[in-house]
Structure 1
Amino acid sequence: ENDVRRIQIRETIKSHFEKEEELFNKDIKVLSLFFIDEVAKYRQYDEDGNEVNGEYGVIFEEEYNNIVNEYITVFNTPYCDYLRNTSASKAHNGYFSIDKKGRKIDSKTTRGTDTSDDESAYDLILKDKERLLSFEEPTRFIFSHSALREGWDNPNVFQICTLKHSSNDVQRRQEVGRGLRICVNKFGDRMDSITEGIDFYDINKLTVIANESYESFVKGIQSEIKTDLYDRPTKASVTFFTGKTIIVNNKEEKITSRQATAIYQYLLRNNYIDLDEKPTDDYKQAKEVGTLAPMIPELEPIAEQIHTLIQSIYDDKVIGNMINNGRQSKVQDNNLNENFNKKEFQKLWNLINHKYAYYVDFDSNELINNSVKVINSELYVTELKYTITIGEQKENIDKNQIENSEAFKEGKISTKTLKTSTSNQIKYDLLGKIAEQTSLTRKTIATILKNIDDSKFILFRANPEEFINKVCKMINEQKASLIVEHITYNQVEGQFDSTIFTESKLATEYANAYKAKKHIRDYVFVDGINKSTSIERVLAEDMDKADEVVVYAKLPTSFYIPTPVGNYSPDWAIAFKEGSVKHIYFVAETKGSLDSLQLRGVEKAKIECAKKLFNNMSTSQVRYEHINTYQSLLDKMNALK
Structure 2
Amino acid sequence: MGIKLEELAYQQTAIKSVVDVFDGTVKNTFDNSSNDGIRSNRISLTEQEIQENIKSIIQENGIAEEIAKLTPEHELTIEMETGTGKTLVYLKTIYELYKHYGFTKFIILVPSVAIRQGVLNTLETFNTQLEGIYGFTPKAFEYDSKRLNKVTNFIEEQHPQIMIMTLASFNSEDKILNQAQREDLFANIPFIEAIGRTNPFIIMDEPQEGMDTPNSIKQIKKLNPLFKLRYSATHRVSKNKLYRLTPYDSYKEGLVKKIEVLTVTEKNDEATLKLELSEVKFGKGDPKVKIKAWHQMASGKIQFKNTAWLKEDDNLGEKTNNPSYLNYKIQRIHKSLRTQKWSVTFYNGTEILEKQASGNIQSIWELQLEWLIIRHFTKKQKLQEQGIKCLSLIFIDKVANYVSDDPVIKRIFIEKYKTLYPEFHNNQEPSAEHIEHIQGSYFAKTGKGEFTDSESSMRKNSDVFDAILKDKEGLLNYGDSVANKIEFIFSHSALGVGWDNPNIFNIATLSNSYSEIKKRQEIGRGLRICVDNKGNRIYDKPDVSDADRINQLTVIPNETYETFVTQYQEEIKEVYGTQTAGAGMTHTHKGKPQNEVRFKRNDNENINKAFKRFWAALAKKTNYTVAFDEEALVERSREALNQIDIADYVAEVNSRSISAISEEEFKDEFGGSESYKLKASYTALDLVEELSENTGLSYTTTFSIIRDIEHAHFAKNPPQFIHRASALIKNIELEEMLRGLDYHLTNEVFPFDFDDFVKQLDDKRYTLTPKRGVFDKTLVDSEVEHKFALTADNDDEVVCFLKLPSYYKIKTPIGEYEPDFGIVMKRKNLKDGVESEFYFVIETKGTNNINDKKSLKESEVYKIKCALKHFEALGVDVKYKAPVKEYDYFKTEAQKDINKVQQA
Q: What aligned pairs does 1:369-518 form with structure 2 within 5 A after superposition?
A: 369-381=635-647, 383-384=649-650, 386=652, 388-394=654-660, 402-403=662-663, 405-406=664-665, 408-412=666-670, 414-421=672-679, 423-424=680-681, 429-452=686-709, 454=710, 457-489=711-743, 491=746, 495=750, 504=759, 507=762, 509=764, 514-517=767-770, 518=772
Bigger helix share: 1
Alignment counterpart, residue 561 of structure 2, candidates 214, 219, 222: 214
Query: 1:624 maps to what in 2?
Result: 880
Q: In the aligned structure 2, how far is the partner of 1:363 from the partner of 1:43?
A: 54
Q: What is the identity, as a one-letter code, of the residue corresponding to 2:487? A: R
Residues 244-302 of structure 1: CA distance to partner in whole angstroms, max 9, x if unpaired? xxxxxxxxxxxxxxxxxxxxxxxxxxxxxxxxxxxxxxxxxxxxxxxxxxxxxxxxxxx
Bigger strand share: 2
Find out whether 1:540 has 2:803 as its counterpart.
Answer: no
Q: What aligned pairs does 1:30-179 form with structure 2 within 5 A after superposition?
A: 30-40=390-400, 42-43=401-402, 45=404, 51-54=405-408, 56-61=409-414, 63-64=416-417, 68=420, 72-73=422-423, 77=426, 81=428, 92=439, 94-105=441-452, 107-108=453-454, 119-120=458-459, 123-129=462-468, 134=478, 139-148=486-495, 152-164=499-511, 165=514, 171-179=518-526
Q: In the aligned structure 2, how far is the partner of 1:568 from the partner of 1:527?
A: 18
Q: Which 10-residue stretch deviates more, 441-450 or 152-161? A: 152-161
Query: 1:192 maps to what in 2?
Result: 538
Q: In the aligned structure 2, how far is the partner of 1:32 from the partner of 1:492?
A: 75
Query: 1:29 maps to what in 2?
Result: 389
Query: 1:113 maps to what in 2?
Result: none
Q: In the aligned structure 2, how far is the partner of 1:462 from the partner of 1:87?
A: 39
CA contact (8 A) 1:500 1:556 kept: no
Q: In the aligned structure 1, how far is the partner of 2:573 from the partner of 2:900?
A: 64
TM-superposed deviation, 1:378 = 4.8
CA contact (8 A) 1:554 1:571 kept: yes
CA contact (8 A) 1:354 1:496 kept: no
Q: In the aligned structure 1, how far is the partner of 2:412 from the partner of 2:373?
A: 11
TM-superposed deviation, 1:98 = 2.2
SS class of match (1:638): helix
Q: In the aligned structure 1, how far is the partner of 2:398 from the partner of 2:635?
A: 46
Q: In the aligned structure 1, how far is the partner of 2:450 from the partner of 2:384?
A: 34
CA contact (8 A) 1:95 1:142 kept: yes
Instruction: Decide whether aligned partners of structure 1 residues 324 and 606 sit closer, same or farther in structure 2, where only a CA change above 3 A counts.
Output: closer
Q: In the aligned structure 2, how far is the partner of 1:365 from the partner of 1:609?
A: 22
Find out whether 1:615 has 2:868 as its counterpart.
Answer: no
Q: What is the identity, as a one-letter code, of the residue corresponding to 1:476? A: K
Query: 2:810 maps to what in 1?
Result: 561
Residues 351-380 of structure 1: CA distance to partner in whole angstroms, max 9, x if unpaired? 444665543231212211111122223554
Q: In the aligned structure 2, how far is the partner of 1:93 from the partner of 1:640?
A: 83
Q: What is the identity, as a one-letter code, of the residue corresponding to 2:898? A: N
SS class of match (1:576): strand
Instruction: Decide whether aligned partners of structure 1 residues 558 and 181 sit closer, same or farther in structure 2, where only a CA change above 3 A counts.
Output: farther
SS class of match (1:543): helix
SS class of match (1:460): helix
CA contact (8 A) 2:778 2:802 kept: no
| TM-score normalised according to structure 1 size | 0.66
Q: What is the identity, as a one-letter code, of the residue corresponding to 2:668? A: E
Q: In the aligned structure 2, how far is the partner of 1:208 from the partner of 1:34?
A: 10
Q: In the aligned structure 2, how far is the partner of 1:639 from the partner of 1:89?
A: 87
Q: What is the identity, as a one-letter code, of the residue corresponding to 1:120? A: R
CA contact (8 A) 2:529 2:539 kept: no
Q: In the aligned structure 2, how far is the partner of 1:85 from the partner of 1:21?
A: 21
Find out whether 1:342 has 2:608 as its counterpart.
Answer: yes
TM-superposed deviation, 1:336 = 2.9
Q: What aligned pairs does 1:250-265 form with structure 2 within 5 A after superposition?
A: none
TM-superposed deviation, 1:609 = 1.0
CA contact (8 A) 2:839 2:879 kept: yes
Q: What is the identity, as a one-letter code, of the residue corresponding to 2:801? A: Y
CA contact (8 A) 1:36 1:145 kept: yes
Alignment counterpart, residue 366 of structure 1, candidates 615, 621, 632: 632
Q: In the aligned structure 1, how far is the partner of 2:623 from the partner of 2:536?
A: 77
Instruction: Decide whether aligned partners of structure 1 residues 202 and 194 sit closer, same or farther in structure 2, where only a CA change above 3 A counts.
Output: closer
| Number of corresponding residues | 504
TM-superposed deviation, 1:608 = 1.6
SS class of match (2:823): strand
TM-superposed deviation, 1:594 = 2.7
CA contact (8 A) 2:443 2:491 kept: yes
CA contact (8 A) 1:583 1:621 kept: no
Q: What is the identity, as a one-letter code, of the residue corresponding to 2:894? A: L
Find out whether 1:14 has 2:353 as its counterpart.
Answer: no
Q: In the aligned structure 1, how far is the partner of 2:554 from the partner of 2:417?
A: 18
CA contact (8 A) 1:33 1:143 kept: yes
Instruction: Decide whether aligned partners of structure 1 residues 150 and 589 sit closer, same or farther in structure 2, where only a CA change above 3 A counts.
Output: closer
TM-superposed deviation, 1:96 = 2.8
Residues 21-78 of structure 1: CA distance to partner in whole angstroms, max 9, x if unpaired? 32244453322222233334x2464xxxxx2223x44554555555x17xx45x664x
Q: Which 10-residue stretch deviates more, 201-210 or 85-94? A: 85-94
Q: In the aligned structure 1, how far is the partner of 2:759 from the partner of 2:390?
A: 59
Instruction: Decide whether aligned partners of structure 1 residues 217 and 135 sit closer, same or farther in structure 2, where only a CA change above 3 A counts.
Output: farther
Q: In the aligned structure 1, how far is the partner of 2:646 from the partner of 2:430?
A: 42
Query: 1:279 maps to what in 2?
Result: none
Q: In the aligned structure 2, how far is the partner of 1:431 from the partner of 1:638?
A: 52
Q: In the aligned structure 1, how far is the partner of 2:757 from the partner of 2:416?
A: 58
CA contact (8 A) 1:354 1:495 kept: yes
TM-superposed deviation, 1:468 = 0.9
Q: What aligned pairs does 1:251-290 form with structure 2 within 5 A after superposition?
A: none
Q: What is the identity, as a one-letter code, of the residue corresponding to 2:789? A: A
SS class of match (2:565): helix
SS class of match (2:633): helix
Find out whether 1:572 has 2:821 as its counterpart.
Answer: yes
Q: In the aligned structure 1, how far is the partner of 2:849 from the partner of 2:569?
A: 47
Q: In the aligned structure 2, how far is the partner of 1:101 from the partner of 1:634?
A: 75
SS class of match (1:451): coil
Q: Which 10-residue stretch deviates more, 412-421 or 170-179? A: 412-421
CA contact (8 A) 1:367 1:479 kept: yes
Q: In the aligned structure 2, how far is the partner of 1:385 from the partner of 1:492?
A: 60
Q: What is the identity, as a one-letter code, of the residue corresponding to 1:573? A: G
| TM-score normalised according to structure 2 size | 0.48
SS class of match (1:418): strand
Instruction: Decide whether aligned partners of structure 1 residues 143 and 203 sit closer, same or farther in structure 2, where only a CA change above 3 A counts.
Output: same
Q: What is the identity, as a one-letter code, of the residue corresponding to 1:224? A: E
TM-superposed deviation, 1:443 = 2.0
CA RMSD of aligned residues (A): 4.3
SS class of match (2:383): helix
Q: In the aligned structure 1, how far is the partner of 2:768 from the partner of 2:644?
A: 47
TM-superposed deviation, 1:640 = 5.5
Q: What is the identity, as a one-letter code, of the residue corresponding to 2:800? A: V
* Identity, % of aligned positions: 28
SS class of match (1:577): strand
Q: In the aligned structure 2, how far is the partner of 1:181 from the partner of 1:410?
A: 20
CA contact (8 A) 2:442 2:491 kept: yes
Find out whether 1:550 has 2:806 as its counterpart.
Answer: no
TM-superposed deviation, 1:523 = 4.3
